């Protein structure tokens, strides 16, 4: 099976981890929580700093969770997250979703949050997730859909941010509008028992606006995404600074409101 060919657009700059460490099972995997049972063996793909992974481990106290990520450096943070919460039923390893180093039928649940939008072949990734899932087990996937993101008040510069991000992500081999495609990818991968749903993150209070706008302003000028935007010829540093300023201006608007739409699929093998 081929190895990963896409580039992770965001990287692991502090502004990215600020977002990733905010994520919990409650705000990012609610569609899955009701299906978990205490004894389950879970694989969490693209675990990043491990906050969702640790939550899943707490939800399966008699089971076990394996968190995997393609970036070795982030796993130290994930291990510290689990250790800080006193969890002994979780472990972490480096892995590529296109070529998982686990036998067939290993896990009760195979979970991936914000992963398929970044991979080179999401259908092949889903087939691999299906392979390591036990018969009767669950494949759970959630991804944002950038084209469906919406906000108020609108400005042309914010529209330019969205168009730029989508260009950079696609140039890196990913699909930023993955949320709407999850069901079709699952069908193409041979999955048939599919429950499709949608979920949102909404940022509107003063604290939420400040947090969301600042992390995107910082990400726009200082992360791997910024480097790839410039090196790929998609924008220059001046334009990135203008977009960052527009994010901060939006965050200062008391009527500001931003919604991130996610597609979700829960597939029974």
pLDDT (tens place) for every residue of the chain, 269 residues total: 444 555 666 666 675 567 688 899 999 999 999 999 999 999 999 999 999 999 999 999 999 999 999 989 999 999 999 999 999 999 999 999 999 999 999 999 999 999 999 999 999 999 999 999 999 999 999 999 999 999 999 989 999 999 999 999 999 999 999 999 999 999 999 999 999 999 999 999 999 999 999 999 999 998 888 999 999 999 999 999 999 999 999 999 999 999 999 999 999 99
Greatest distance between any 2 Cα atoms in the chain:
53
Peptide bond into 47 cis (omega under 30): no
C-alpha–C-alpha distance, residues 215 and 185, integer Å? 30
Give SS3 for 42: strand
Count how many Cα atoms sit within 13 Å of the Cα of residue 205 in the half-sphere of its side chain. 3
Note the pTM of the prediction, 2 decimals: 0.94
Q: Report residue 245: phi and psi, to 5°.
A: -65, -40
């Amino acid at each position: 099976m081929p190895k990963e060919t896409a580039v992770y657009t965001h990287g692991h700059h502090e502004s990215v981890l600020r977002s990733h460490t905010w994520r919990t099972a409650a705000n990012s995997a609610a569609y899955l929580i009701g299906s978990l049972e205490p004894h389950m063996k879970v694989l969490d793909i693209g675990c990043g700093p491990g906050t969702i992974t640790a939550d899943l481990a707490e939800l399966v106290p008699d089971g076990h969770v394996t968190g995997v990520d393609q970036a070795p450096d982030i796993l130290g943070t994930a291990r510290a997250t689990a250790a800080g919460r006193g969890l002994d039923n979780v472990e972490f390893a480096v892995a590529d979703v296109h070529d998982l180093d686990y036998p067939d039928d290993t896990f009760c649940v195979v979970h991936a949050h914000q992963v398929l939008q970044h991979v080179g072949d999401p259908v092949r990734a889903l087939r691999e997730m299906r392979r390591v899932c036990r018969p009767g087990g669950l494949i759970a996937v959630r991804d944002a859909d950038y084209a469906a993101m919406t906000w108020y008040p609108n400005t042309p510069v914010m529209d330019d941010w969205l168009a730029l991000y989508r260009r950079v992500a696609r140039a890196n081999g990913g699909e930023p509008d993955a949320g709407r495609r999850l069901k079709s990818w699952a069908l193409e991968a041979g999955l048939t028992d599919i429950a499709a749903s949608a979920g949102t993150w909404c940022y509107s209070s003063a604290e939420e606006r400040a947090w969301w706008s600042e992390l995107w302003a910082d990400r726009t000028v200082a992360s791997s995404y910024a480097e790839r935007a410039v090196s790929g010829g998609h924008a220059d540093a001046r334009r990135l600074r203008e977009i960052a300023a527009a994010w901060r201006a939006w965050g200062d608007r008391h009527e500001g409101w931003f919604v991130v739409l996610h597609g979700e699929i829960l597939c029974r093998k």
